[in-house]
Structure 1
Amino acid sequence: MEIGIIVWCLILCAFFSGMEIAFVSSNKIYLEIEKKQDNFISKILSKLTENPSKFIAAMLIGKNIALVIYGFLMGDLVMIWIENIGFHFSDFWNVLLQTIISAILILATAEFLSKVFFQIYANILIKVFALPAYGFYLFFYYLSSSIIWISDVILIKFFKTKGDQVSLYFSKAELGNYITEQMSTVEKNDEMDSEIQIFQNALDFSGVKARDIMTPRTEIVAMDLFDSVTDLKDLFIETGYSKIVIFSNSIDDIVGYVHSFDLFKKPKNINSILIPVEFVPETIFIKDAMNLLTKKRKSVAVILDEYGGTSGIITIEDIVEELFGEIEDEHDSDEELTEEEVEDGIYLFSTRLDVEYLNQTYKLDIPESDSYGTLGGFIVDSTKEIPQKGDIITIGNYHFIIEEATNKKIELVKMTIKE
């Protein structure tokens, strides 16, 4: 009988400790979504979480009651074991042995193991044990309410605080964790929900810098300020762009841009329809760049390098695409960047692909750094030179064969991951 009660006390202690840590560790957004489901468990979860302090208090009360009963019975049982073995100690050593043996057992089973297990699987276990937890919550409701009331009186009267308050807000970290969990469940060949992707983009948005999304200097379509309007018109027709950057003498001296709509005004020269641009450093965050462009009612910003030269350009469209994904129109080029898994562990990649994108999509774990953003940048940063077609390069566990390259940049590589 006593051993059975002790075992039940250990189980209850493990349950109360686990539910306490599961409630604290569980993702609050996940819980809110589960509570919106129209089923029995969702209603139980809503009841449990409507007053977090009372739920935690009920779990602590149950745990302490189980500990007290366990302590009384376990002490007597330890004494019986000692006497059966034939040892005889003084009262001090008897108490010390009771304490050590009882503490080791309770800490190993009902504290450490249960809390670790419930913390790892918090979202699942808080649903699985919601019903018994709610039963104990109701059983200890008035006692926990009294304790909360007494603590509020002490906090308000002696510590001048507002007492117990329920937080209704979710942290950015909780949203990020939930979205990461959802993304990890998507198979490689499955289409990810656009809503999940937008949330992920929004979370990453504040950490993205202008240099990460800019059109690089080598790909800027631009014209000299002193070229003819006819040449400008031909360039608009050839590219299909709505805006073309204008420079004076060199691309490092961009003076503005021209919108195709202004050609209907039949300008005599480019300067008469020139629209000023904003200048921002490479390290500016795109959220700050967007605020600047919106405030000044501009749609194009020139990205400057550390020496004041043109590093690239960004537009409001580039920033919006960072949130909502690529926005293609009838004039966008049909050319796509190559990304193909040729065989298991062997890939064919355009070097313009972002390292972060490749890591998320193909789980490659390529090192990320502020020194580069693309796969080509990773290779050049590691080799300290521009490899040529046919070169074979090994960087850590990554084996590259340069498939296409020019004197200025790498364009296509075959990548193999070594075990």
Structure 2
Amino acid sequence: MEATVIILCLLLSAFFSGMEIAYVSSNKIYLSVERKQTSFLSKILTKLTEKPARFITSMLVGNSIVLVIYGYYMGVVVMRWLEPAQLSVFNTVLLQIVISAFIILLTAEFIPKVFFQVYANRLIKLFALPAYFFYCLFSMASKFVIRISDFILIKIFRTSGDKQQGYFSRGELGHYITEQMNGVEEQEEVDSEIQIFQNALEFSDLKARDIMTPRTEIVGVEINDTVTELKDLFVDTGYSKMIVYKESLDNIIGYIHSFELFKKPKNVGQMMIPAEYVPGTIYIKELLGILTKKRKSLAVILDEYGGTSGIVTVEDIIEELFGEIEDEHDDEEELIEKELENGVYLFSARLDVEYVNEEYELEIPESDSYSTLGGFVVHNTKEIPKTGHRINFENFEILIEMASNKKIELIKFIPVQQK
């Protein structure tokens, strides 16, 4: 009889502790979605979690009751075990505490809490029915405990008392969206709404240098050029905005919208909009706020020496949320990434180092000083290497397959064992 009661108490304590941590660790968006389903368990889950404070209190009350019962019966059993040893009262009580606490911590606290935390979303729904039974059973006791705690919080500590959290965190939203993205098969298309949410979560962590058009790809007009030259440049490039510089691209002074040409200006400076200058480390959410406030659509990204590192337009920022926005003038650039043979890879130099590491596990060192493969090479060589140049690193050798005087185009990665 004693063994049965002890085992039952341990199981119930594990259940109460597990359900408590499962609710705290569960994804609130998942629970919100489940509550809107029409299944029987979803309806039970709705009733169970509509008042979180009462639910958690009910689990605590149930756990406290079974722990008291467990302590009483376990004490009797341990006393019987230790009776032949004829220990002192102090030693007997000490051993009772140690043995009882070790068993309860291991079997009813640590293991179930870890298990329920890992599988929180599944288990809170699976055990919703028995949890609801105890929720109803201890309803009056939990109400009484909540009233006492609210009285102490409001009257003594002068706080607002317990309030139900009616929102979910950014992390919970990200976790839920990640689950949805991972659940989509490769051949299926991700819903545009989910993709936008995913982009929005990553939006806050992006910096201007992550999305800028690099200096080597900037096309501009010199301030002293003629309007005819500017018009020809607009026609040749198909761009809607053109950079204006003085003497060199390190001294960009503004930009021009193509529609300004319809006003028949006499010179380039007459229709120029002054440039906005920001460092490459600024977050794009902050940059968007600056451009919106100052009613500008382009910013010049400066490097640490005050030179031009690149440019960012409002369109570039918006594309991070809604995906690529292409028009009839956009040329689709093909980024090469393929395995040639025996672990040898050929990559476009514009591929992100982080992406290549995730996809091909090449363990290329990452740094805030660069983001692309080309930037990685230039950062380590302190120059733009010529075609055919070889660079040795710990795990691989880099062969420059194609490069110009301004930038690296193609890179070949050769593992050390393949050299």
Q: Verify same fold: TM over 0.5.
A: yes
Query: 1:193-272 maps to which residues of 2 (within 5 A)?
Result: 193-272=191-270
The Cα of 1:317 is off from its aligned counterpart by: 0.3
**Amino acid of the structure 1 residue aligned with 2:68:** V
Give 2:156's match in structure 1, choosing from 158, 167, 172: 158
Q: Is residue 354 of structure 2 the alignment partner of residue 352 of structure 1?
A: no
Q: How far is 1:306 from its partner?
A: 2.6
Q: How does 1:13-24 map to 2 (within 5 A)?
A: 13-24=13-24
Deviation at 1:66, TM superposition (A): 1.0
Cα drift, residue 302 of structure 1: 1.5
Letter in 2 for 1:238: D
The 10-residue stretch of structure 1 (74-83 or 326-335) with the greater mean CA deviation from structure 2: 74-83
Task: Give ranges in structure 1 of 5+ residues lacking alignment.
Answer: none
Moved more, 139-148 or 30-39: 30-39
Identical positions, percent: 64
Distance 1:192 1:386, change over 3 A: farther
3-state SS in 2 of match to 1:311: strand
Instruction: Specify the code of the residue in structure 2 equivalent to 1:63.
Output: N
CA distance in 2, matches of 1:67, 1:255: 74
Report the CA distance between 1:332 and its aligned residue: 0.2
Is the alpha carbon distance of 1:357 and 1:70 closer, same or farther for their aligned partners in structure 2, counting shifts above 3 Å?
A: same
Aligned-partner SS, 1:308: coil
Match of 2:307 among 301, 309, 317: 309
Q: Secondary structure at the match of 1:178?
A: helix
1:382 touches 1:395 (CA, 8 Å); kept in 2? no
Matches within 5 A, 1:17-416: 17-83=17-83, 86-186=84-184, 191-340=189-338, 347-358=345-356, 366-393=364-391, 395-397=393-395, 400-415=398-413
Q: TM-score, normalised by structure 1?
A: 0.91
Residues 336-373 of structure 1 deviation map (CA, whole Å, 9 limit, x = unaligned): 22234557965432121223444566676654422112
Amino acid paired to 1:256: G
More displaced 10-residue stretch of structure 1: 375-384 or 145-154:
375-384
CA positional deviation for 1:185: 4.2
242 and 23 in structure 1: CA distance in 2 versus 1, 3 angstrom threshold: same
Q: Which amino acid in 2 is paired with 1:234?
A: D
CA offsets per residue over residues 224-274 of structure 1, 9 Å max, x none?
122222222222121111111122222222232222222223333323322
Task: Report the CA distance shift for 1:418/1:408 in structure 2 as closer, same or farther (over 3 A).
Answer: same
Offset at 1:416? 6.1
Give the C-alpha shift of residue 43 in structure 1: 1.8
State how far apart, in whole Å, the 1-side matches of 2:40 and 2:415 are: 48
Code of the residue aligned with 1:283 in structure 2: it is: T
TM-score after normalising by structure 2: 0.91
User: Would you say the 8 A contact 1:179–1:200 is kept in 2?
Assistant: yes
Which SS does the other structure have where 1:89 is aligned? coil
Q: Secondary structure at the match of 2:43?
A: helix
**1:171-203, Cα deviation, whole Å (9 max, x unpaired):** 222223333344444566664443333222212
Give the superposition deviation at 1:315.
0.8
Equivalent pair of 2:213/2:311 in contact (CA under 8 Å):
yes
Deviations 1:372-413 (A, max 9, x none): 121222333345454443445454545544332234432222
Paired residues in the alignment total: 417
Cα distance, 1:255–1:386 mapped onto 2, change above 3 Å: closer
- Which amino acid counterpart does residue 315 of structure 1 have in structure 2? T
Question: What is the one-letter code of the residue matched to 1:294?
Answer: T
For residues 43 and 362 of structure 1, what CA distance do their matches in structure 2 show?
45
Q: CA RMSD in A?
A: 2.5
